[in-house]
Amino acid sequence: MDGLRDILESLALGRDLSGEQTTLVFDALMGGQLTPSQAGALLMGLRAKGETPIELAAAVSGALRHAKLLEGLAGPCIDTCGTGGDGTCSFNCSTAVALFLADMGYQVVKHGNRAVSSSCGSADAVEAVGLPLPKEPGEAAAELARRNFVFLFAPFYHPAFANVAPTRRELGIRTMFNFMGPLLNPARPTHQLLGVGVAGALDLMAQALALTGVDEALVVHGFGGFDELTTFGPAQVRRVRRGRAEPLVIDPQVLGLPRHRPEDVRVDGKEQAIAVLKDVLSGRGNPAMRDMTALNLAACLSLLTDSPLGDCLPRAREKVSAGLSGEVLHA
């Protein structure tokens, strides 16, 4: 690739890359044009220097050139996802929230993968409740029209990731790709609830998301180190709107939710995670899981309806208590 030597030299000197440089080099990386040593030097150079929002947004742009995109979707649609890797072993809250939203009539395009560090990945959870993982954009669009919900299994829509998988595996450390995942939804959702497990990544993720053109989003770091809103204490949040990211705090106790304990939402293994998810979706589950689901559901409703979070919480709690109507699962 022309200019690669200059890019690697800049990184070695601790200099930030421009958006154009980053887009071009990640386009080449995803296209298989870099050798393993060049790919490793690029990813390590960015990590050592510290990735910037401009670099992250531009890397996403370069990677999306090789993705199978869902185009022509009409109206607002939302994704609920996180960076993962928070090590909390919690239940599949974001999947429950996504299915409740769809059951309430909102379009949900959930993007994710199988379990890496969690008990049960979002793809595993979706399959467990009987929903398909469509392989092609046309199939996915039809599934969304049928159910208001579609799960976009990342390997199906980002085949070029195979070109970087060996390098990532050999490096064995966190790289830019760990941040890119939640920003790579091939449906390009208009709204997003994005969780980060590390508070230090809040501004990076929020500012990069603002540069990608999303209409509105909340980037959250839940109390207790969760990549979701929790009822254990105040969450650090960035609200993304009109290309800007502004800080705020969401305190569940101020909203009237009881304080629960982290151990109340933990699961032990895939089988328990699936059983718990089914309980929550049916209106059962323990109070801590129901309240955590309702809080995150309310945050999504706040984004989609442009309403205060406190006004959306009673509606969210009522929905979680009622459970799914069955239309999403049996459309």
CATH code, domain with 36: 1.20.970.10
Helix orientation angle between 287-305 and 270-281, rounded to the nearest 10 degrees? 60
Q: How high is the pLDDT of residue 89? A: 76
Distance in angstroms (rounded) separating the CA atoms of residues 17 and 252: 39
One domain for residues 24 and 115: no
Q: How high is the pLDDT of residue 116? A: 62
One domain for residues 84 and 208: yes
One domain for residues 132 and 46: no
In the numeric block, the tokens 């450390």 are attached to 173
Q: In the chain, which ranges are E strands?
A: 78-82, 108-112, 149-153, 191-195, 216-221, 235-241, 244-250
Q: How high is the pLDDT of residue 70? A: 96
One domain for residues 293 and 144: yes
- By residue range, what is the domain housing residue 46? 4-64
| pTM recorded for the entire structure | 0.95
Estimate to the nearest angstrom the gap between the alpha carbon of 55 and the chain centroid: 19
**Residue 266 carries which DSSP code?**
B
Of 64, 91, 114, the residue at which a domain comes to its end is: 64
Consecutive H or E run containing 327: none
How many structural domains is the chain composed of?
2
Q: How high is the pLDDT of residue 326? A: 83
Point out the residues of the chain with pLDDT beneath 70.
Answer: 84-88, 115-119
In the numeric block, the tokens 């999303």 are attached to 214
- Residue 72 forms part of a structural domain: no
- Residue 130 forms part of a structural domain: yes
Q: How high is the pLDDT of residue 117? A: 53
Burial status of residue 10 (CB atoms within 10 A of its CB: 0-12, 13-18, 19 or more): middle
Consecutive H or E run containing 210: helix 202-211
Of 19, 34, 64, the residue at which a domain comes to its end is: 64
